[in-house]
Structure 1
Amino acid sequence: MGPVNPLFAALVDDAGLFPPTSLPMADALARHEADRAAGSAVLTHRFLCLASRLHEITSPRPERIGVIVDDPLVELPDVDLIEVRLGKPVPRSGARLFVEVTADELDGLDAVAHPHPSTGAGFKIRCGGLTREAFPSPEEVARFITFCARNGIPFKATAGLHHAVRHYDPALGVWRHGFLNLLLATHAALHGADPLPILESADADGLARAAVAVKKEEALRTRETLVSYGSCSTSQPLKDLRELGLIGEDA
């Protein structure tokens, strides 16, 4: 596999077990192993799994596992990171922690005891779901990104980011956020700019040009803040980036 722009390197977590794809465990593991063998640099090759389903994982066990904690009493094996809802118990683990904050809680972030940057812990934002109500507005996402950028807090994203660029979903009657929008909005916020116009943009060509213009050092800093995002498809993000001319066919 060829090298990729650091803005997209190790960007996509494997969320194949989760809706709307909801692969059976055996199929999810098989796809993950195939992706690992293919070796795309855009994928993190981190397998996301509910804590309550860890016992279902069979050989070959993924080398990197991210656990979404739905049962705090489950004993965690050697995992890469853990994700937990705000206010829920956190299992004992040496893994990196990300605390999920819903759209309804974004206004209260300033009152939350947020993680200190030195811990490596961060926040997680849910960008969509199976219903229209599950999608935070661009304004809410912009406030979240700005808060994280100003306070040096890394974050992950999940749900709803099915394509690179913001687009309208007629089935749900909602505008879906794009992962390229999210990346460039984070870059803007880190430079003191308002991320909202970028989050609202559906200009694929304009966003692609903006991504190409990001310098390597700025891309690395952007990715220190936006660590990765979970996608139930591991092929669609690659397809979108290729169609935009942002990665090669061998990436």
Structure 2
Amino acid sequence: MLASIKTLFVSVVDYAGLFPPAKLDLEQAMANYAGYQSTAYAWMLGRFVLPASRLSKFTELLPKFPTQQQWKLSVILSQDIEPDIEKMRSLDKNNAIAVTSLEIPPLPPTEIKKVLSHLPEGVDSYFEIPFHSEIQAYIAVLQHTGASAKIRTGGVTVDAFPSISQLYECMLAFAKAPIPFKATAGLHHPLLGKHPLTNEPDSPVAEMHGFLNVALVAALIYQQKITPEEALEFLKESSPEALQITADSICWQNYQLKLVEIEQTRQKFFRSFGSCSFDQPIDDLKKLKLLS
């Protein structure tokens, strides 16, 4: 395993098996997550994404899945934020669970200000920012708060996918602020390409963003190493031959990311991406010979 790849992808996949297109029931999703923890690729596994409304059922089912590792949860809050946070606090005495992040649904910037004061300390918070919104208003309210952003990079319909320029402009705004971010939905494959959006036989097909494209462009933007024109081109990259990967660096054309820059970006800027599949990203990385 190359150190550069491990640094880029450590704890990168927040497992969202409850959500489309997988849309598993809670017990099956929990069984999957527990199983992933014992695989050779457990180092890529991030948090288990769980709506606050299902916390009670989650704790009820938990004894069925004993593991040596603590369950790291990313809890999605509803519009009733304060009661949801109280539900989360009720888990504090359960040593098998650690709520490490909260995900907040789209809110107007004025409402985000109110919510920030209620969030618990020591837990990452991700505020979802719609692509068709005035992003600078969100930047202004999140900047210097320690909170992070969440962007939706796809879905089960063609119109759920942002354009390449929208994706770039959003990441650029976050980097300038700077505000850390996570992505969710649609990032099942490493590189840009056309794929079915669901597992149904008649599924629509769309061009899906690649999580490798997003991770590396985020790093190049954050490290101030790339021009806007080249960033847009790299988000369109679909050929693995364009990359040169060694143990201590990843290169694309004339741009190089050193190991320390990749590590810094993951810690401070591009935090993770949510996926309803953990196997698919791994299988695709194996096909590219980036994992063995």
Shared fold by TM > 0.5?
yes
Distance 1:120 1:36, change over 3 A: farther
Worse overlay, 62-71 or 154-163: 62-71
State the match for 2:200 in structure 1. none
1:116 pairs with one of 138, 143, 162: 143
Provide Cα deviations, 1:136-181, integer angstroms capped at 9, x if missing partner: 1000000011011111211000001111111113643421101001
Q: Give 3-state SS (helix, strand or coil) of 2:190's partner.
A: coil
State the match for 1:68 in structure 2. 76
Gaps of 5+ in 1: none
1:85 pairs with one of 105, 108, 118: 105
Contact persistence 2:219–2:270 (CA under 8 A): no
Contact persistence 1:32–1:45 (CA under 8 A): no
- Among all aligned residue pairs of Structure 1 and Structure 2, give the percentage whose two residues are the same amino acid: 33
State the match for 1:198 in structure 2. 234
Worse overlay, 94-103 or 84-93: 84-93
Structure having the higher Rg: 2
Q: How many Å separate the matches in 2 of 1:151 and 1:27?
A: 39
Contact persistence 2:12–2:271 (CA under 8 A): yes
Provide Cα deviations, 1:92-147, integer angstroms capped at 9, x if missing partner: 43321010011112xx1112234235x43210010001111111100000001101
The count of aligned residue pairs is 245
State the match for 1:103 in structure 2. 131
> Structure 1 residue 207: deviation in Å?
4.1
Q: How many Å separate the matches in 1 of 2:244 and 2:213?
A: 10
> Structure 1 residue 227: deviation in Å?
0.2
2:276 pairs with one of 232, 246, 250: 232
2:214 pairs with one of 173, 182, 205: 182
Q: Give 3-state SS (helix, strand or coil) of 1:201's partner.
A: coil
1:220 pairs with one of 263, 278, 284: 263
Q: How many Å separate the matches in 1 of 2:208 and 2:19?
A: 18
1:127 pairs with one of 153, 158, 167: 153
Worse overlay, 36-45 or 124-133: 36-45
Provide Cα deviations, 1:192-217, integer angstroms capped at 9, x if missing partner: 42221111222232146597333101
Q: How many Å separate the matches in 2 of 1:115 and 1:208?
A: 36
Q: TM-score, normalised by structure 1?
A: 0.88
**Counterpart check, 1:156 vs 2:182:** yes
> Structure 1 residue 236: deviation in Å?
1.1
**Counterpart check, 1:169 vs 2:195:** yes
1:140 pairs with one of 142, 166, 172: 166
Q: Give 3-state SS (helix, strand or coil) of 2:73's partner.
A: strand
Q: TM-score, normalised by structure 2?
A: 0.76
Specify the code of the residue in structure 1 equivalent to 2:183: A
Worse overlay, 198-207 or 148-157: 198-207
Specify the code of the residue in structure 1 equivalent to 2:288: L
Worse overlay, 69-78 or 127-136: 69-78
Specify the code of the residue in structure 2 equivalent to 1:121: A
Contact persistence 2:36–2:42 (CA under 8 A): no
Worse overlay, 51-60 or 123-132: 51-60
Q: How many Å separate the matches in 2 of 1:173 and 1:243?
A: 21
Q: How many Å separate the matches in 2 of 1:208 and 1:180?
A: 13
Gaps of 5+ in 2: 93-98, 197-202, 252-256
